[in-house]
Amino acid sequence: MPTVILVRHGRSTANADGVLAGWSPGVALDDTGRDQAAALAARLAALPLAAVVSSPLQRCRETVQPLLDTRPELPLHTEDRVGECHYGDWTGRKLAELAEEPLWATVQRHPSNAVFPGAEGESLRAMQARAVDAVRDWNERIEAEHGPDAMYLVCSHGDIIKSLAADALGMHLDLFQRIGTDPCSVTVIRYTPHRPFLLRLNETGDLTALVPPPRAESENGTEAGSAGDAVVGGSTGTP
C-alpha cells in the first residue's frame, strides 16, 4: 500500500497573529510561510510522488504551489475531508482568549469528548474519522493507479495530521495532543495490509532516505521478510 507524505501548511497570517483560523476565508501564508513552502519543494525533490492531495483552504494550496511549479506533471486533487477542523464559534478568535474557555481543558485532556460550539462546530472524533477515511480511500485509489510502492502527498492542518499520526500509532484520540506538527513539517506514514508504520513525525530536515528501493529489493527484502514486517533490531536507515 502507498506511503503518505503528510505536510502541514506553512506559517499563515493567523498563526503569526495567534488566531484560530479554522475555515475562515482568505487566510494566506505570511512571508515566513512562503519561504517554508519554497524550501519544502526542494526537500521533496528526490521523492517519486504520484500525486498531491490538498485541503481546499488557501494556506494549503499556497504551500503546495512551489512544488507544483517545479513538478508540473504532478496532478493536484482537492479533498474536503482533510480540510481543517470545523471549530464553530471558536473560529477567528485569539488562542489566548480561547484558553480561558471551559472547553479548552476538554480539548487538551479529553479531546475525544470535545465538540466545538455553534451550528458549524465539529467534534474532534468526527474530524479524525473523516481524515482517516479520506487517507484510506486515497490509498486505494493511488495504489490502483500507481502500484503498491507509490508515494503521494497530502497537505493539511495540524490537528488533522496529529489525528492521523495517532491512528497510525494505535493511540487513543485522548493522547493526540502529545504529538507536535510544526508549520511545513512532514509526517510520513507507510501503510501495509496489516498495519501502518510511522516513518517520520514533524520532520523539518532531509527526506532523501524515504526514496523507495527498486521493487525487487523491496519484495525480497534486505531488512524484512515482507513489506508488512517490522525490522527486527531496527531499520538500517538506508534507502
Q: What is the pLDDT of residue 232?
A: 39
Q: Is the pLDDT of residue 95 over 80?
A: yes
Give the pLDDT band (50/70/90) at residue 228: low
pLDDT tens digits, 164-191: 999 999 999 999 999 999 999 999 999 9
**What average pLDDT does this structure show over 89-109?**
94
Domain spans in the chain, listed from the N-terminal domain onward? 3-219
Neighbours of 229 (CB within 10 A): 13
Flag the least confident range among 125-139, 160-174, 198-212, 218-232: 218-232
Q: What is the pLDDT of residue 226?
A: 54
Q: What is the pLDDT of residue 231?
A: 40
The pTM of this model reads: 0.88
Phi and psi angles of residue 105, each rounded to the nearest 5 degrees, phi first = -65, -35
CA quadruple 74, 148, 141, 52: dihedral sign: negative
Strand pairing report for 151-156 and 186-191: unpaired
Superfamily of domain 3-219: Phosphoglycerate mutase-like (3.40.50.1240)
The CA distance from 98 to 45, in Å, is: 39
Q: Is the pLDDT of residue 233 over 50?
A: no
The CA distance from 45 to 73, in Å, is: 13
Give the pLDDT band (50/70/90) at residue 23: very high
pLDDT tens digits, 198-207: 999 999 876 7
Q: Is the pLDDT of residue 30 over 70?
A: yes
